[in-house]
Structure 1
Amino acid sequence: MKHFICIFTIALVLVSCKGNDKIVLRSSVGKLNKVMVVANINDWNGDIGKEIRNSFGELVAGLPQPEATLSVSQIAPNGFNSVMKASRNILIIGEGSKDEFFVKKDAYAKPQTVVYLKGKTKQRTVALFKKHEKEIIDIFLAADLKMIQNVFGQTKLDDTQFKTLQNLGISLTLHDKFRTVDDTGEFLWLRHHLTSGIAKTGSNNIILYSLPLENEETVADSIVAVRNRIGKKYIPGSDPETMHMITEEAYTPSTFDAIIDGKKAFETRGKWEVKNDFMAGPFINYTIIDKKNNRIIVFEGFTYAPSVNKRAFIFELEAIAKTMKIK
């Protein structure tokens, strides 16, 4: 009888699984902008590890403290067990029977990005990494951006509540921790109070507005002047008569070409400060050329989080900016 029940149970399980052969992956884990490198200790302590650390360790522009583009940790292949395979970003690198470079998504967990890079010799492995280093960094950063955007999408605010977004014909994926500071119909200022760790006295902020497009050739050169003018008009300090946000005068911002919603844009990273006060922090600014509507649209995120690293906060603001849709 027991034998019959056992067979019946197995048969029932098999029938219930029929037509549903998908493998359910566990959730991945890992901090933003962090990569686990699976490599032999000799490779990690040698030229391969040196190249990885130098490449991933390039400093993020505009942050007050030096912070690497990607943080790394290393584990030997024989330690790459089930627990470690749950990491969200993984680089598996070393020698192999042939030169190869490829990417797998959701190999052991979800969401997950695993980059495989093998060379016939250590020298070939280093050369192959150098060839693909920018691509590898972009792959990991893009994966983290998508992951954050998906997380924010789960608690997305109804952005039709903001007059400025409606008037400008813009939509954004904003998570529900943001609160309105100002929404005039022409200028929007949102704030997310940071509630964890030492940064709980700080905030992430978003401002958004548009200006007429007068001369496309001078847009990039006028970004600092425009943000200083907007800061004086809309972002006061504790004494509005003498204090307002400006671009930090001792630090020259860095500007790069970008694309937002298929449109030409400029990404500017730098530091802000409050004139005649001691408040300061990093900002990321996207100035977008909207030829169809003969205007420029400005999205800026800035962080105030004294005494803590700010890479992750700015990265979250970048992720939000890149969800922008323009009518």
Structure 2
Amino acid sequence: MKKIAMLLVFSVLFISCNPANDKKVLKTANGRINSLLVVMKNSQWQGDLGNELRKILAEPVIALPQPESQFEVSQVPLESFGSMFKATRNVLSVSLGDENSFTVNTNVYASPQKIITIIGKSEEELIDLIVTNNKKIVSEFKTSDLATVQRNILKKYWDPTKIKTFQEQGYSIKIPRNYNFVDDTGDFVWYRYHIDGANSMEIITYSYPIESENDENGNAIVARRDSIGKKYIPGEVKDSHMITEEAFTPHIFEVTLDGKKAFETRGKWEVKGMYMAGPFLSYSVIDKAKNRVVVVEGLTYAPSVNKRDYMFEIEAILKTLKINQ
């Protein structure tokens, strides 16, 4: 029995000392999507340095009916950055030091977590670093949050091989199982998630042939989506259907999606002949191999409710697009 006991002791010691088992276990990160914690001196936060950060972090999200900042921001001084705050999902640390540096780290104290650390030899140099890296600051936090949303909402999704349009048209996106089927014609897909009451989030997809330069350069996006709205998305009264809001010009940016040239469009939709409207986001992807444009779009109907996070979830879904080779 003594020999067996000794063998057990040695086995435990071997396992505990084995480098393969010396993996750091991180706590689960806390904090809402599209929120971040700024760690810096109170006096700096209330001065020019803080003002420069707020210009970037509190910039309104475009094409929303009500103004909403792209991040909800909290601030604590370094001496208050204890264990509770260290588990925050998104952290931006700004301080003075002996050298200028801009670093990005992942999963330092918790997971998933993104920490950006900016150090400057003076406040003026700190401001220069912030201005120079303003797009990277936003992109790092947004990309991390998008991945988190995708992990959370896409644990269960509708099987793309069972969706007729995806099979016949040779592309697909991952639609969460809590979105309900509305339409699937072989050319057009429509799924809906009921937020509460009559409020909803909608996912639609379709494609159309490239027939002119306007289709390739993004100049036909509004005309094409309006024709789809007339054909597939009727309103509740006669001759009503979804259109792009005529009083608001959409914002269109050239981006890359699924490795292909695409146009991101952020605008507002309305139902012609009815008092219904809201924001939409679409990606029009140029599929040169099949001489077509593949469109994935999401929109929200939620009057008098903040819609930033709803549209962010839609963005996460749309960016799962895969076009068959």
TM over 0.5: yes
- 1:317 and 2:291 matched: no
Q: More displaced, 157-166 or 9-18?
A: 9-18
Aligned to 1:187: 188
Aligned counterparts of 1:204 and 1:323: Cα–Cα separation in 2: 17
Aligned counterparts of 2:88 and 2:97: Cα–Cα separation in 1: 23
- Matches for 1:251-270 after TM superposition, within 5 Å: 251-270=248-267
Q: In the alignment, residue 83 of structure 2 is paired with which amino acid?
A: S
Describe the SS at the equivalent of 2:219. Answer: helix
Aligned counterparts of 2:17 and 2:290: Cα–Cα separation in 1: 54
Aligned counterparts of 2:192 and 2:260: Cα–Cα separation in 1: 26
Q: More displaced, 105-114 or 65-74?
A: 65-74
- TM-score (norm. length: structure 1): 0.92
Pair 1:30–1:8, CA change in 2 (3 A)? farther
Tell me if structure 2 keeps the 8 A contact 1:149–1:173: no
Identify which of 286, 291, 299 aligns with 2:288.
291
- Matches for 1:128-277 after TM superposition, within 5 Å: 128-195=129-196, 200-219=197-216, 220-239=218-237, 241-277=238-274
Pair 1:55–1:10, CA change in 2 (3 A)? farther
Aligned counterparts of 1:119 and 1:282: Cα–Cα separation in 2: 40
Describe the SS at the equivalent of 1:114. Answer: strand
Q: In the alignment, residue 286 of structure 1 is paired with which amino acid?
A: Y
Describe the SS at the equivalent of 1:60. Answer: coil
**Percent identity of equivalent pairs:** 45
Tell me if structure 2 keeps the 8 A contact 1:26–1:109: yes
Aligned to 1:65: 66
Pair 1:10–1:250, CA change in 2 (3 A)? farther
Tell me if structure 2 keeps the 8 A contact 1:160–1:166: yes
Instruction: Please list every run of at least 4 consecutive aligned residues from structure 1 whose deviation after the TM superposition is greater than 3 angstroms.
Output: 7-16, 216-219
Aligned to 2:16: 17
Tell me if structure 2 keeps the 8 A contact 1:264–1:288: yes
Describe the SS at the equivalent of 2:262. Answer: strand
Shift of 1:15: 4.2
| Structure 1: 5+ residue stretches without partners | none
Aligned counterparts of 1:15 and 1:174: Cα–Cα separation in 2: 46
Tell me if structure 2 keeps the 8 A contact 1:152–1:173: no
Give per-residue Cα distances to partners, 1:107-130, cap 9 Å, x unaligned: 000000000001011111111111
Aligned to 1:104: 105
- Matches for 1:296-311 after TM superposition, within 5 Å: 296-311=293-308
Shift of 1:275: 1.1
Describe the SS at the equivalent of 1:94. Answer: strand
Shift of 1:218: 4.3
Describe the SS at the equivalent of 1:319. Answer: helix
Aligned counterparts of 1:144 and 1:83: Cα–Cα separation in 2: 20
Shift of 1:238: 1.2
Give per-residue Cα distances to partners, 1:15-53, cap 9 Å, x unaligned: 443431111111111111111100100110011110110
Give per-residue Cα distances to partners, 1:122-176, cap 9 Å, x unaligned: 1111111111111111111111111112223322321111101111111222221
Tell me if structure 2 keeps the 8 A contact 1:247–1:271: yes
Give per-residue Cα distances to partners, 1:189-243, cap 9 Å, x unaligned: 0111114xxxx5311111101101112444411111111111111111112x221
Aligned counterparts of 1:72 and 1:45: Cα–Cα separation in 2: 13
Q: More displaced, 279-288 or 200-209?
A: 200-209
Tell me if structure 2 keeps the 8 A contact 1:152–1:174: no
Aligned counterparts of 2:227 and 2:157: Cα–Cα separation in 1: 31
Give per-residue Cα distances to partners, 1:246-301, cap 9 Å, x unaligned: 11111111101111101101011011111111111100011111000111111110
Aligned length: 317
Aligned to 1:54: 55
Cα RMSD (Å) of the superposition? 1.8
